[in-house]
Structure 1
Amino acid sequence: MARGRSQSGVVRSHRRGRRRQVIRRRLPVAPWIVVTTVVALAASGLVGGYAFLLSTGCSGDPIKAVVAAPKEISGTLQTAARSWAGTEPSVDGGQCISVEVREQASQDVVSALSGSSTGSKKDLPHVWIPESMAWLEMAKISDRGKKMLPDSPPLVATSPTVIAMPTEAAKALGWRNEDKPVDKAGKPTWGNLLKLAEDSDWSQFGKDKWGDITVGMSDPMASTADLHALLSIVDKNRSAGVDAEELGNVSKLKSTVHKETPSVEEMMGKVSEAKAKGDPVGFVSAFPALERDVWKNNFSGTESPLTAVYPADGSLDADYPLAVLQNVSWTDATHQEIGKQFGEYLLGEGQKEIKKGGFRDGTRREASSELTGTEGLATQITATQRDKVDSESVQTTLATWQAVARPANVLVVVDSSSSMSTEEPYDGEKLSRMDIIRKSLERSLDLFGEQANVGLWRYPYDDPVAGTAYQKLVEIGEFDKSRQDDIESQLSAVEPAADGGLNDTVVEAYKNVLDNYNKTTGAINLVVVISDGGSESDASLSNEDVTEELKDLSAKDRDKEASIMTIGYGKDADKDHLDAIATATQGRYYPAKWNDEINMQILNALYYN
C-alpha cells in the first residue's frame, strides 16, 4: 500500500496524535521566531501559547463519513478526498474529519436506500454521489426515499449523454461535430437515429458493404447513458405519462436494437473487436454513452476511435449530484457537516481533480484541455441541456421499457368486495374505488406488448358451479388486442358485492401462474393482487395457513420462480396480512393509502420489480 494512503479510499488527517508525526511536521513559523516567542511567553507566564503556535491543524482520530459513488468517478473523488485531507478539515472546534469513498453502483444504492436489499446499516452511505439526478429520483419513488434525499443537491460534475458512433459512421451521416448533416440523415437526434435504423441502410450513404444501420443498448437499470436515452425517447414532453407516439417510439427502439450488452464498457469492447476485423459497424452503428466514456476510449490512443454525437434537440447530462442523507438513523449532524464541507471543496478547489478525470464542471461549460483536445469530442457544447426529470417520469420510463422488453406472465386479481363501492375523489370527480382501479389498470396494462400473457380474476364470488370464492374473468393468454378488449370489458362489468375470499383466491391464483409458467429467459411470472381489505377470520384457510401453503408451493419447484405482488388500497388495507402473503413467495407489498398513489403502485407491482 502506497505511503499516505489508506485502504478503500479512506482519507484521514495526518495529525493523529502520534508523537513521531508531530515531530516531523513543519513548524508553522521559522524556528528562531518560535524560540524568541517562547522565551517571551515564558517570561510573561504564558507558556501555553506555545501549544497554540504549534497546533494550527485538527486533532484526534478522524470522524469518517462514507461517500458512495459509481465506478467512473469514484477514483477521481478519492484523489480529491486525499487533497481535501491535506487542508486538515475539522468540526467541533478542531476535531479531525475524513471521508471514505466507496465504489458502489447507483442501482445498488437505490435498492439499499429503498430497503429492498439485504445488508446492515453499516453498508449504507452518509453521502451519495450517483451519476445522475435520475437515480435520485428513482430512489425517491418511495416515501422513504423522499424523506432521506434532498430536493436540490449541488452538482459536482457533468458528462452529457451522447450518441456514440464509430468515427467512420458518424462521418458518413455528417454527424461529426464539424460536419453538416447529410440530408437523408437529418439532424442528429435519437428520433432520427431510430428512423434510420428502421427505414434505411448504409448503402444510402455510400457504404454498400456495411449493411443495416443498427443500434446497441445496455441495461437502463445499470447504465446511466441508456437510462437517459430512454427518458429522451419515452417521456419526450416530461408529462410523466406515455402517449401513443411515445409508446410507439419505445416499441420502435426495442425492435431496432440489434445488440444488447450488460454495460457501455462491454459495448465499446465489442465495437473495437469488430473494427479490428475491418468492419467498423460490424457490431453496432450507434449506442448511448456518456461523453466521458468516449473520452476514456479515445484518450487511451485506441485504434477504434468513437465520435460523441451530441443530440441536436438536447441531452440529459450525467450531473453527479452530491446528496447528503437526512432523516435516517445511521447519520447525524456531524456526518452531514462532513458531507457539506466535502461538497464545498469539490465545488471549489476539487474541480481540478474533477476535470482531470474527464468530466466537465457542474455548468457543463468548463472542461480540461485533455477532454476538449481529444478527437471526437466537442470543445464547447451548443446543444441544450434537457430539463431535469422527476420520479414519475423515471418510473414510467422504466416501466414502459420493462413492459415492452420483458416476456411476462401475469394474473391480475381484483378485490370486488362491498367496500370497493366506496366513493373517493379522483381527477376532479367522485368515483368508486372499483372505477379508480379499473381506470388505473387499463392505463397500466396498455404498456404490455404481445410478448406478455395476461389474465384477470376477481373475488369474492360465489361460483355455484365451480364452488369457488373467485371468478376467472379472463384466462391467462397472449395479450393481443382481443384479450386487452376482453379484460377492459370484464372490468367494466364488475360490481362490488359480498366480502371475504382472499385467502382461498391467492392460493389458487398462485397455482394457476405456476401451471401456466413462462420459462422464457428473463420472463416474469406474477400474481398481482389489489385489495382494500386483507385479513379473514372465517375463511376456510386461516391467515397462518395461507402463508404456509404459499411457502410450500413456492419451494416445491425451484425451477419456477413466481411471486405474488400485493397492493393495499386505502388506509384500512391490512398491511400485515398482505405483506405476509407477498413475502411468502418472495414478492412485495405496495401500499396505496391515497387515490393518487394507486396508479403508481400498480405500475410498480407490474413492471418495476
Structure 2
Amino acid sequence: MVFGIEHKVKSHRTGRRRKKGGAKMQVAPWIVITLVCVLVASSLTWGFVTLLRSGCSGDVFRVTVAAAPSVFSSLDDAAQEWESTQPEVDGRCVGVEITEVSSAEAARGITGTWDAKSLGPRPIAWVPDSQAWASWVASSESSAGYVTAEPLVLGQASSVLAVPESTATSLDWLGGQPPTWADVLALATDGTLNLAAANPRTSTEGLVSMLNATSDGAGGFSEDAMAAYSAAVEAGSVTDDVAEQFAASAEAPDPATVFTALDYQVETFNATAAPADPLVPVTPSGSAVSAVASYMVLDGATGWVSESDAGIASRFGDFLASSGFTDADLKPVDDPAAALAQTTPEAVGQAVRSWQSDRQDLNILFLVDRSIAAVEESVTYDGEDLTSSDATIRMAVEMVEQMESTYRAGLWEYGVGADDGANWRSVTDIAEMSDENRETLSSDLYDISDDEAYEGGSPLYDSLVAAYEYMSENASEGELNVVVVLTNSGEDTASLPTVDETAASLTALDSSVKAYTVGFGSANADNLTQLAEATGGSYIEAPAEGNVLSSIGG
C-alpha cells in the first residue's frame, strides 16, 4: 500500500492448460542466462530504489492549509504531488491537507474566533485569493502578527467591471480610453448606470473593487472617493458576491447594470451562459489593486501555530515555488514584490472601516425554536441534509462569525416549558462581539442543540412578544435593533393569542425594534411575514447556503 491506496495486482496464472502433444519451442541457453541476469539486475535496482524511497514510515502527518475556493483544486493537486515525493521529518511522513475556506471567512476567523466546526481545523498556512485580505488582517493590532511578511505570490486576477457589450459600446469604453472610477460613479449616481457592487466584507471582487474606487491615486485611501462610491452603491445595490449578479443577468439581462467582478469570472459567465449581449470586462483607469493570490505560513511566534507545524507548511511553500505553481484562472506575476505592495494594512483598514461606518451596527437577539417539530423535519443546508433544528443552529453560528466586533448579540430559546412558568428562556445575555463573547455565544448555540427538544407545539407567539418587549427595553441608540426568529413552524397552538392578535400586540408596542423571521422547511410563510411586517421587519425564506446577515443588516 502507498499512502493508504491498495494496488490490486492480477495473478500471473492464466488457468489455461497446455495442449497435449505438439512441438515445444526450443530456447537457447544463452538467452535463458541473459534473461536471468536482467531479472536479477532489475530486482536489485528495484530494491535499491525502494530503499531510497523509504525515508519515512507510518501514517502521514498533515498540517492544514486554508485555501480560497478559486485556487482550492490547484492547491490540492499540488499537495498530492508533493506528498508523492515522500517528504519526511525525523523519519515520519508529512504532508498538507487543503481545506476550502473563503478568504472573507478565513480573515474573520483569524481576526476573531476560528470556528473549526464550520471552517475545519485551524490552518497553519493560508492562501487567500487576494493579498488585500492579508492586509485587512494585518490592519488590526490584535492579529497583525499572524500574517507573514514574505508570502509566496501564486498569481493574480484583474479587478474589472462586468459591463453588457451594448452598453460598453454606446459609452465608447471598448477600444477607446477606459473610464476612470470617478466617471463610473458619476454615471451610477445620476441614474445612467446601475452599479451592483459585491460586498467588500464578504467577497474578494467587492473588496478589490472598493479599494480601487476609493484610492487617492498614491496608494492611500480617500474619504471623498468613498463618499462617492457609497452614494453610487446606495443608488444601486449590494450583494454578498458576484454570483448573485451573474444569476440575475442570466435570467433577466439589464443593459444598464454593471457590476464588480474579476476578469476570469466574466469569461466563465460568457462561456457557460452564452448571453445574447455578452459581458465585457472593463478596467477603470487608475485601478492599481489586483486580486493577488498568495501562500503564507501563519506566524508561529504568536502562538497561532507551533514551530514544527509551521516548518512543514514552509516546506510545502518551497515546493510550490520550485514546482512553478499554476492555476488556469490566474495570470503569472512578473514582479512579486510590486504585486504584494499594491495594498497596505493602513489603506485597507481605513477603507473597510469607512465602509462599515456608513452602515448601522447590529444589536441582535436570536430567538431559536427548540420545539420537537424542529427536530423531526429534515432540510438541506450548506449541502447537507440536517434536521431543521441543526440547520437553525448552523445558520445562527454563521451569522455570529460574520458579525463585526462592534455588533451586539444575545440568545433566547423557546419551547413548551422552556423555563419555570414561561415557554422561553434567556440563554446568553446581549453583549458586544469581542473574541471572548463571540466564542461564548457560539458555544451556547451548540450547547442548546445538544439538549433534548421540548415536547409539545411551537409557542412562537407569546415568545416573540416577550423577546420583542425585552429588546425594546434594551435597544441601543443609533443601532439597528432586531429580533431574529429561526423556525420551521410559524403556527402556534401552544400560546393563547392568535397570529392576528400577536401582530396587533407587536404593532401597539410602537418600538424601533424590528423582527426578522427566518423560515426553514415547512414554515408557515404567511404567518411569519405578518408577524415580521407588524414590526417593520420582513420574512426571509432560509436559503440552503445560509448568508442571511446582509439581508437583516441592510
SS for the counterpart of 1:323 is strand
Partner secondary structure for residue 319 of structure 1:
strand
Structure 2 vs 1, CA of residues 239 and 348 (structure 1 numbering), >3 Å: closer, same or farther? closer
Q: SS state of the match for residue 280, structure 2?
A: strand
The answer to whether the 8 A contact 1:517-1:560 is kept is no
Decide which of 262, 266, 290 is 2:244's aligned counterpart: 266
Rounded Cα–Cα distance in structure 2 between residues aligned with 1:17 and 1:387: 43
AA matched with 1:35: V
Report the AA paired with residue 52 of structure 2.
T
User: What is the SS of the residue equivalent to 1:107?
Assistant: helix
Distance in 2 between residues matched to 1:71 and 1:16, nearest whole Å: 25
Deviation digits for residues 392-418 of structure 1 (CA, Å, limit 9, x no counterpart): 222211121122244789xxxxxxxxx
Residue 250 (str. 1) matches residue 247 (str. 2): no
Which deviations, in whole Å up to 9, do the C-alpha atoms of 1:122-180 show, x marking residues without a partner? 7210110011111111112333422221112111121111111112222222223xx12
- Counterpart CA distance in 1 for 2:130 and 2:144 is 16
Report whether the alignment pairs 1:180 with 2:176: yes
Q: Distance in 2 between matches of 1:157 and 1:407?
A: 36
Distance 2:76 2:285 in 1: 35
Cα distance change on mapping 1:33 and 1:326 into 2, 3 Å: farther
Instruction: State whether structure 2 residue 263 is matched by structure 1 residue 291.
Output: yes
Query: Equivalent residue for 1:514?
Result: 475
SS of structure 1 residue aligned to 2:143: helix
SS across alignment from 1:299: helix
Provide the rounded CA distance (Å) in 2 between the counterparts of 1:346 and 1:64: 16
Residue aligning to 1:156: 154
Distance 2:37 2:4 in 1: 25
C-alpha distance in structure 1 between counterparts of 2:173 and 2:340, whole Å? 20
Q: Distance in 1 between matches of 2:482 and 2:214?
A: 25
The number of equivalent residue pairs is 353
Q: How does 1:200-219 map to 2 (within 5 A)?
A: 212-219=192-199
Letter aligned with residue 237 of structure 2? K
Are 1:230 and 2:210 matched, yes or no?
yes
Contact 2:213-2:287 at 8 Å conserved across structures: no
Letter matched to residue 40 of structure 2: V
Partner of 1:395: 349
Instruction: Report the CA distance shift for 1:137/1:312 in structure 2 as closer, same or farther (over 3 A).
Output: same
Q: Match of 1:547?
A: none
In the alignment, structure 1 residue 309 sits paired with structure 2 residue 282: yes
Aligned equivalent of 2:297:
324
Q: Is 2:297–2:310's contact at 8 Å kept on the other side of the alignment? A: yes
Residue ranges of structure 1 left out of the alignment (5+ in a row): 1-13, 25-29, 40-48, 182-186, 202-211, 366-383, 410-509, 524-556, 562-609
SS at match of 1:156: strand
Letter in 2 for 1:104: V
Aligned residue type for 1:189:
T
Change in 2 beyond 3 A, CA 1:62/1:518: closer
Q: Give the SS at the match of 2:153.
A: coil
Partner of 1:189: 180
Q: Deviations over 1:261-285 (max 9, x none)?
A: 221111111112123xxxx42xx52
Instruction: For 2:167 and 2:483, locate their aligned partners in 1 and report how far apart those are by CA, in whole Å.
Output: 33
- Checking the alignment, whether the CA contact within 8 Å between 1:254 and 1:404 is kept in structure 2 is no
Query: Does residue 1:15 correspond to 2:2, yes or no?
Result: yes
**Distance in structure 1 (CA, Å) of the matches to 2:218 and 2:36:** 65
Rate the CA distance shift 1:129–1:221 in 2: closer, same or farther, 3 A: same
Matches within 5 A, 1:542-561: none
CA distance 1:180–1:339, shift in 2 (3 Å): same
Matches within 5 A, 1:578-597: none
CA separation in 2, counterparts of 1:231 and 1:385?
15
TM-fit CA distance, 1:31: 9.2
What is the CA–CA distance in structure 1 between the aligned matches of 2:477 and 2:273, rounded to whole Å?
53
Deviations 1:394-449 (A, max 9, x none): 2211121122244789xxxxxxxxxxxxxxxxxxxxxxxxxxxxxxxxxxxxxxxx
Aligned to 1:91: 88
Q: Distance in 1 between matches of 2:344 and 2:164?
A: 33
CA spacing shift, 1:17–1:104, aligned 2, 3 Å: closer
CA deviation after TM superposition for structure 1 residue 559, in Å: 6.4
Q: C-alpha separation between the residues in 2 aligned to 1:316 and 1:192?
A: 18
Cross-structure match for 1:107: 104
What TM-score do the two structures reach when normalised by structure 1? 0.51
How much does 1:345 deviate? 3.4
Alpha-carbon distance between aligned partners in 2 of 1:395 and 1:317, rounded to the nearest angstrom: 17
Indicate conservation of the 8 Å contact 2:185/2:229, yes or no: no
Distance 1:319 1:84 in 2: 23
Go from structure 1 to structure 2 and tell me whether the alpha carbon gap of 1:72 and 1:364 turns closer, same or farther (over 3 Å shift): farther
Instruction: Return the TM-score normalized by structure 2.
Output: 0.55
Rounded Cα–Cα distance in structure 1 between residues aligned with 2:186 and 2:340: 21
Match of 1:56 among 49, 52, 58: 52
Are residues 111 and 164 of structure 1, via their aligned partners in 2, closer, same or farther at CA, if it must alter by over 3 Å?
same
Matching residue of 1:77: 75
Q: What does 1:369-380 correspond to in 2, within 5 Å?
A: none
1:489-568 matches, cutoff 5 A? 514=475, 516=477, 519=480
Is there any run of 5+ residues in structure 2 with no aligned partner, and where? 11-34, 364-470, 485-510, 516-554
1:111 partner letter: R
How far apart, CA to CA, are the structure 1 residues paired with 2:483 and 2:350? 20
Distance 1:168 1:37 in 2: 67
**Is the contact made by 1:69 and 1:130 (CA closer than 8 Å) also made in structure 2?**
yes
Aligned residues of 1:157 and 1:359 also touching (Cα < 8 A): yes
Give the Cα separation in 1 of the matches to 2:280 and 2:351. Answer: 27
As a proportion of its length, which structure holds more strand? 2
Mark the CA change 1:296 to 1:112 in structure 2 (over 3 Å): closer, same or farther: same
Secondary structure of 1:197's counterpart equals helix
> What letter matches 1:228 in structure 2?
V
Secondary structure of 1:158's match?
Answer: strand
1:198 aligns with 2:209: no
- Tell me, yes or no, if structure 1 residue 300 matches structure 2 residue 297: no
Is the Cα–Cα contact under 8 Å of residues 62 and 98 in structure 1 kept in the other structure? yes
**Distance across 2 between alignment mates of 1:31 and 1:335:** 48
- Per-residue deviation, 1:75: 2.2
Q: Report how far residue 521 of structure 1 moved.
A: 7.3
Among all aligned residue pairs of Structure 1 and Structure 2, give the percentage whose two residues are the same amino acid.
21
Q: SS in structure 1 opposite 2:323?
A: coil
Query: Taking structure 1 as reference, are residues 255 and 559 closer, same or farther at Cα in structure 2, changes over 3 Å only?
Result: closer
Instruction: Report the Cα distance in structure 1 between the residues aligned to 2:352 and 2:132, rounded to whole angstroms.
Output: 11
Contact 2:99 2:120 in 1 (8 A): no
Q: Which residue of 2 aligns with 1:425?
A: none
Q: Give CA-to-partner distance per residue, 1:291-336, whole Å, 9 cap, x none.
A: 1211221233622532111222233111111111122546334432
Residues 385 and 347 of structure 1: CA distance in aligned 2, closer, same or farther (over 3 Å): closer
Structure 1 counterpart SS, 2:128: coil
Paired position in structure 1 for 2:319: 345
- Cα separation, 1, equivalents of 2:167 and 2:146: 45
Cα drift, residue 54 of structure 1: 2.1
Give the conservation status (yes or no) of the 8 Å contact 1:80–1:350.
no
SS in 1 for 2:94: strand
Offset of residue 512 of structure 1: 8.4
What SS does the aligned partner of 1:53 have? helix
- Tell me by how many angstroms 1:225 deviates: 1.4
Q: In the alignment, what sits opposite 1:138? A: 136
